[in-house]
Amino acid sequence: MTLGIVRASVSTEHRVALVPKVLSSLTKKGLEILVESGAGRGAGISDTAFREAGGQIVSGEEAWYSDIVALMGPPSDHEMERLKTGAVVAGFLQPLDTPARMSRLADCGVTALAMELVPRISRAQKMDALSAMASLAGYKATLIAANRLPRFFPLLTTAAGTVRPANVTILGAGVAGLQAIATARRLGARVWGYDIREAAREEVKSLGAQFVELELEMEDMQDEGGYAKALMEAKAQQQVKLLVPHLAKSDVVITTALIPGRRAPTLVSQEAVEAMNPGSVVVDLAAASGGNCTLTVPDEVIIHHGVQIVGHTNLPSTVPADASFLYARTVSAMIQEFMQDGRFQTNFEDEIFKAVCVCHNGQVVHERILSMIQS
């Protein structure tokens, strides 16, 4: 079987789905690796590096017509036309954000595996692409905030006087939020973390941060997959109000709250932004899903009442070398998991395969995606 590594067609995407370091494990499974020329350029990986690792450099047409195609993002309509009937497609397909596109992908007759649907179970940890990218996003968000803030992060004592440390608040204590907390702590800031999930309290404290306590009654706000549930409207509005006085004291706010398949919850209101000091920074990691801040504009930096609001939608792509390596490890693990005797074997009895498979044999087969399409 052939495995195609294709170049991202979106100008802001610099990652590549597979890297030379993982090719040997794939060739041992009997796969012939076809690399579109220039596929790794954005991540600083040359065609020569792929060739030396066992890949063949081919045209885009050849790479897209492979038996298995490894992607970063969902294929465009033009790229779908280049897919072979019966091929396996693995990547961030955004099925929860664009379910109608999954119908068009099903019409191509491919088996489509969405990496963002990998279940959070121990056996699937090596395939958890979302967590790998979220960790990078949390790290980079903190560096962006530190660079934009017109103050030091750490306590600084000099002959001229003492500079107090910056106050940093992280909203959402998933993988991205915890990485942001850890990074802000390493930079010397005073850090607070907040999450609606009670289980997150100890994780926040274990990293040396303080937990933001709100007088808000919570039930079990964690779903079976470990993600936060959506708050009922009344409590959601109350939460936003209760956060205002704490955010007003923050020099930096990094928001990371996401609910799969839904618009990002509002956490930072215009009132909260206007209560912050001029020069303060909000980095909204939920910008691609509507934003946790009501003023966020995707892929723009705006200034409101002197507060900088940063809306990057693809921070992992700003560190493409390491992001590509980590993503490649997860995609490689997914492919290898279902390779037997040199062939990719579909297995709907396997809980991982069932969770990630969106399309097969010309049909959308994922129950949740199918219900979204039909609603």
Q: What b-and-e string marks burial along 278-293, b requiring 16 or more CB atoms within 10 Å of the CB?
A: eebbbbbbbbbbbbbb
- The single residue of 128, 195, 251, 284 carrying the catalytic annotation is 128
Q: What is the pLDDT of residue 222?
A: 54
User: Which has the closest alpha carbon to 106: 72, 80, 142, 131?
Assistant: 80
The average confidence (pLDDT) of the chain is 94
CB 212 within 8 A of CB 194: yes
- Which pLDDT does position 261 carry in this prediction? 82
3-class DSSP assignment, residue 4: strand
Torsion of CA 139, 140, 145, 150, to 10 degrees: 110
206 exposed, middle or buried (CB, 10 Å; 0-12, 13-18, 19+)? exposed
125 among known catalytic residues: yes
Has 11 been annotated as catalytic?
no
pLDDT score recorded for residue 225: 56
Query: What integer pLDDT is reported at residue 223 of this predicted model?
Result: 54
- Residue 82 among the catalytic residues: no
CATH fold match for the domains 2-117+338-367+370-374 and 134-318: yes
* Long-range contacts of the stretch 261-264 (C-beta < 8 A, 24+): 261/96, 261/97, 261/368, 261/372, 262/230, 262/289, 263/289, 263/290, 264/289, 264/290, 264/291, 264/292
What pLDDT, on the 0 to 100 scale, is given for residue 235? 87
* Side chain identity, residue 63: A
CATH node for 2-117+338-367+370-374: 3.40.50.720
Pick 134-318's CATH classification: 3.40.30.10, 3.40.50.720, 3.40.50.2300, 2.60.120.890: 3.40.50.720
For the question of residue 251 being annotated catalytic, the response is: no
* 222 tagged catalytic: no
Which residues of the chain register pLDDT less than 50? none
Domain boundaries, the chain: 2-117+338-367+370-374, 134-318
Write down the catalytic residue from 15, 82, 131, 280: 131
Distance between CA atoms of residues 260 and 143, nearest Å: 26
d(CA 73, CA 366) in angstroms, rounded, equals 19
Tokens of 375: 């609603």
Per annotation, catalytic residue among 41, 227, 238, 336: 227
Using CA atoms of 296, 203, 148, 250 in order, give the dihedral in degrees to the nearest 10: 80
pLDDT at site 230: 61
Q: In this predicted model, what pLDDT tens digit does every residue of 288-330 receive, in sequence order?
A: 999 999 999 999 999 999 999 999 999 999 999 999 999 999 9
CA-CA-CA-CA dihedral for 145, 148, 153, 158, to nearest 10:
170
pLDDT digits (tens, 9 = 90+) for 126-176: 999 999 999 999 999 999 999 999 999 999 988 898 999 999 999 999 999
Q: Please report the pLDDT score of residue 231 as a whole number.
A: 66
Q: Which of 120, 148, 185, 368 is catalytic?
A: 120
What gap in Å lies between CA 198 and CA 251, rounded to an integer?
25
pTM of the model: 0.92
- Collapsing DSSP to helix, strand or coil, 168 comes out as strand
Closest to 200 (Cα-Cα) out of 225, 172, 181: 172
